[in-house]
Amino acid sequence: MSLLEVKEVTHSYGSSRSFWRSAKEEHVLSDVSLSIEQGSCMGLLGTSGAGKSTLGKVILGLEKPQKGKVIFQGQDLYTMDALTRKRIRRDLQVVFQDSYSSVNPRLTAEKIIGEPLENYEKLSPAEQKRTIADLLDMVGLDAEDMKKYPRQFSGGQLQRISIARAIALKPKMIVLDESVSSLDMVNQTNILNLLNELKSVYGLSYLFITHDIRAAYSISDSLTVMEKGKIIEVCNDKNEVFTSQHPTVKKLVASILPEHPRNRTISRGKSRA
C-alpha cells in the first residue's frame, strides 16, 4: 500500500455564482491521481500556474477538493474524525518557499521548533531543550542559535529552521513547496544534501514541488510533470524526463540552463567554440 494516494482530485477557485453571471468553472486541478511510496521522493514539476501548489495544499489537508479523495496511510484525509486527523497531522509536515512568512517573527527559534513538540510530545523542559538542540545540530545550526529571533537569521538559515520544525516529530512525509527556490546555489545544494541525508536516516518521503528541473532531479526518485491542472507526464525513473516526447516536457528540458558555457543555447559567434 502506498503511503499517500491522490485519487481523481478536481478542484477550482472562484466559482462564485451570482444573479448576473452563471458559475464560471475554471479547473485548477482536474482529475489528478498520484501515489507516493514510503521512503521515496516525488518531484512535481510545472511552470507557474500549473496547479502544483494547489495540489500540495490538497495533499496537506488545507484545501478541500471539490471531487476526489486524498488517502494518507489508508485514511481519507477529508472524512476522518478529529482525533485521527490530529494523529495523522504529525506524520504529514510542510516546508514553504518563503521562510520569513512561515514563522512567527515574535518567537525565538527555540519556540518555533518547540511548537510541534509541545503539541504532541509532552516532554520535560530539559528534554525538550535537548531535543531542539539536537534538531538544530542536525540541520547544521548552532545550539546557541536557539535564542535568536527570525530576523536575526538569513533566508537559508531560516529555511533550515523550518526544516527542523518539520522533522521535529519524525514525520512520514514532508511536502516541500518550492522550498529551495529562493536560496542561492551554495545554500540550495546544502539543503538538498541535508534533505537527502534525512531521507536515508528516517525513511522520509517527500513531495518536492518546484519549477526547477535541476533541483528536482538531484533529490527525486520519480518525476511528475503538470500543466494546466493536469498531470501530463509521469516518469517513474527520473531519467525518463529527458527522453519524454511530450512537447511541454521537452520545452522544460530545453530551458535547463547549462552548467558550462560551452553548452549555451543562446547562439552567438563565440559560443560552441
Partner 1 sequence: MEKQQNVLQVSGLNVAVKSQKGVLPLVQNLNLELKPGKILGLVGESGSGKTITCMSLLQLLNQKAMHIEGSIQLHGRELNGLKEKEMRCIRGKEIGFIMQNPMNAFTPVYTIGNQFVETIRIHTELTKKQAVDLAIASLEKMNLQNPAKIMKMYPFQLSGGMLQRVMIAISMCLRPAVVIADEPTTALDVATQLQVLKELDRLRTECGTSVLLISHDLGVISELADEVAVMQNGRIVEKADVYRLFDFPQHEYTKKLLQARPVLPVNEELSKLVI
Please choose, out of 83-91, 96-104, 143-151, 184-192, the segment that lies near partner 1 by the rule CB under 8 A.
Answer: 184-192
Among 123, 232, 234, 256, binds partner 1 (CB under 8 A): 256
Please choose, out of 70-78, 159-167, 168-176, 187-195, the segment that lies near partner 1 by the rule CB under 8 A.
Answer: 187-195
Contact 236, 218 (CB under 8 A): no
Q: What does each C-alpha distance from 110 to 117, 131, 143 come to in angstroms?
A: 11, 10, 9
Distance CA(11)–CA(25), nearest Å, equals: 10
Contact 222, 47 (CB under 8 A): no
Among 122, 185, 200, 237, binds partner 1 (CB under 8 A): 185
Among 26, 134, 137, 184, binds partner 1 (CB under 8 A): 184
Among 127, 236, 242, 247, binds partner 1 (CB under 8 A): 242
Measured from the CB atom, the residue of 79 and 236 that comes closer to partner 1 is: 236
Q: Determine, following the binding rule CB under 8 A, whether residue 245 of this chain makes contact with partner 1.
A: no
Contact 1, 35 (CB under 8 A): no
Contact 178, 209 (CB under 8 A): yes
Which residues, 6+ apart, have CB-to-CB distance to 115 below 8 Å? 107, 165
Distance CA(176)–CA(2), nearest Å, equals: 19
By C-alpha distance, which of 224, 257, 256, 251 is closest to 238? 224
Please choose, out of 58-66, 112-120, 145-153, 179-187, the segment that lies near partner 1 by the rule CB under 8 A.
Answer: 179-187
Distance CA(232)–CA(93), nearest Å, equals: 26
Q: Determine, following the binding rule CB under 8 A, whether residue 2 of this chain makes contact with partner 1.
A: no
- Residue 2: CB atoms within 10 A of its CB come to 16
Strand spans (E) along 100-172: none
Q: How many residues bind partner 1 (CB under 8 A)?
A: 44
Could you tell me the smallest distance in angstroms from the CB atom of residue 241 to partner 1?
A: 9
Among 73, 205, 218, 244, binds partner 1 (CB under 8 A): 218
- Annotate each residue in 36-75 with x if it binds partner 1 (CB under 8 A) or - if it does not, as one string: -----------xxx--------------------------
Judged by the rule CB under 8 A, the positions of this chain that interact with partner 1 are 47-49, 154-156, 182-189, 192, 211-215, 217-218, 239, 242, 251-266, 268, 270, 272-273
